[in-house]
Amino acid sequence: MEAYLDNSATTVVADSVREIMIKTMTEDFGNPSSLHMKGVEAEKYLRTARDEIAGILKVQPKEIIFTSGGTESNNLAIIGTATANARAGKHIITTAIEHASVLNTMHHMEELGFSVTYLPVDKHGKITAKQVFDALTEDTILVSVMHVNNEVGAVEPVEEIGEMLHKERPEILFHVDGIQSFGKYQIRPKKYHIDLFSVSGHKIHGPKGSGFLYVSDRVKIKPILFGGGQQRGLRSGTDNVPGIAGIGEAAALMYRNFDENTAHMYELKDKLIDGLGKISGTVVHSERGRDSAPHIVNVSFIGVRSEVMLHTLEAKGIYVSSGSACSSNHPHISETLSGMGLSRDEIDSAIRFSLCEKTTGEEIDYALEIIGENIETLRKFTRRK
């Protein structure tokens, strides 16, 4: 049996997504900037995807900018707005547990002369709107907070933060990294006073190399790529028609049976957490139920290093992660887990399970069975070494 439980790293491409991508690569393959019929046919796919996504978010189609993925979306949101609004101030607020595509961009902004406040999180990986309020200065121009943490599934209070900023400091721009939340939550940027919202295609059964950034029409932003002026001059480069068509179709699929799919994931998440709790020497770092995201469970198997558990499960056809996939090639202590106050032993033995709407109860049962059968042997082996 095989159990793929690493959906926060990437998801399988949906059948209908694959089909529309093949069609745009083999039949409707024109450059959407071309004026002839092949170009017109290609441009229709961009318009359809943009309309679909705008409809889901309840925003204007022109406010959707297609990118190469979450990293570019986050970079454009932060660098583009900070540099465009530098005359108004050079202070940015974020959290200490952001994804590397945000944290490393923040470090770059510091090199450019901006000051950045990194808000600490509580034991559940969460901040409060009051923390953001208390960190505001006259120089603050941007607040950037992830919606769902990619390692433990903590859900940040973006609605409260957006409401607070709108009431107290409406001139400050609010960016939300929604890469782990789009498709899992009903998101309304206008209602929540979110000015910029980042999404990645391969987290929602779309293709790798696809993404988008919602940019409110009130936002002053500069491009970070320069060329032919595509997408209102904000993202030059020949449009990736297969990727854009693919992410548009994937977005539509994620919200087609939304309530049923999220309920299914919450049920399986709680089943997994309950099962892990019965295994000796485990510490679960993700909350049950609706207090955390429906698809992420982080747990430490005390006495077994994470990479040992990962490869033990892999040998049995169970695929999990020892942390953020984007950081797997550069091992480091997790900012999220250390920020939550975990011990070094807990951090070194942490494993992330991540589900999707296609995950089955049988996969969860199989993973729990294999862990239960091997955990004590792995601990004995670790102690002998």
For residue range 83-115, list pLDDT tens digits in order: 999 999 999 999 999 999 999 999 999 999 999
Asked if 241 and 207 touch (Cβ cutoff 8 Å), the reply is no
Residue 356 is among the residues annotated as catalytic for this protein: no
pLDDT tens for residues 138-160? 999 999 999 999 999 999 999 99
3-state secondary structure 276-304: HHCCCCEEECCCCHHHECCCEEEEEECCC
**Tokens 């004995």 sit on residue:** 380
DSSP 242: H
pLDDT tens for residues 177-207? 999 999 999 999 999 999 999 999 999 999 9
CATH number of 3-11+258-384: 3.90.1150.10
pTM exceeds 0.85: yes
Cα 121 to Cα 98, 300, 359, 368, distances in angstroms: 11, 19, 30, 30
pLDDT tens for residues 331-374? 567 899 999 999 999 999 999 999 999 999 999 999 999 999 99
Q: Distance (Å, rounded) from C-alpha 249 to C-alpha 18? A: 10
pLDDT band at 251 (very low <50, low <70, confident <90, very high): very high
Give residue 380's pLDDT. Answer: 83
Give residue 266's pLDDT. Answer: 98
- Non-local (6+) Cβ contacts of 101 within 8 A are 70, 71, 74, 75, 177, 326
Q: Residue 350: beta bridge partners? A: 300
On the question of pLDDT at 125 being above 70, the answer is yes
Give residue 324's pLDDT. Answer: 47
Maximum alpha-carbon separation in the chain: 71
pLDDT tens for residues 283-330? 999 999 999 999 999 999 999 999 999 999 999 999 999 864 454 444
Give residue 236's pLDDT. Answer: 94
CATH number of 15-254: 3.40.640.10
- Non-local (6+) Cβ contacts of 257 within 8 A are 357
pLDDT band at 383 (very low <50, low <70, confident <90, very high): low
The encoded tokens of residue 218 equal 């009130």
Q: Are strands 318-319 and 3-4 parallel, antiparallel or unpaired?
A: parallel
**Tokens 């039949």 sit on residue:** 27
Specify the DSSP element, H or E, that contains 118: strand 115-119
Q: Distance (Å, rounded) from C-alpha 167 to C-alpha 175? A: 16
The encoded tokens of residue 8 equal 């926060």
Cα 363 to Cα 11, 24, 27, 317, distances in angstroms: 16, 35, 38, 10
On the question of pLDDT at 231 being above 70, the answer is yes
On the question of pLDDT at 382 being above 90, the answer is no
pLDDT tens for residues 203-221? 999 999 999 999 999 999 9
Give residue 137's pLDDT. Answer: 98
> Out of 54, 225, 326, 378, which one is annotated catalytic?
326
- Identical fold for domains 3-11+258-384 and 15-254, yes or no, is no
- How many residues are given for the chain? 385
On the question of pLDDT at 381 being above 90, the answer is no
Domain residue ranges in the chain: 3-11+258-384, 15-254
Burial of 97 (0-12, 13-18, 19+ CB in 10 A): buried
**Neighbour tally for 330: CB within 10 Å:** 7
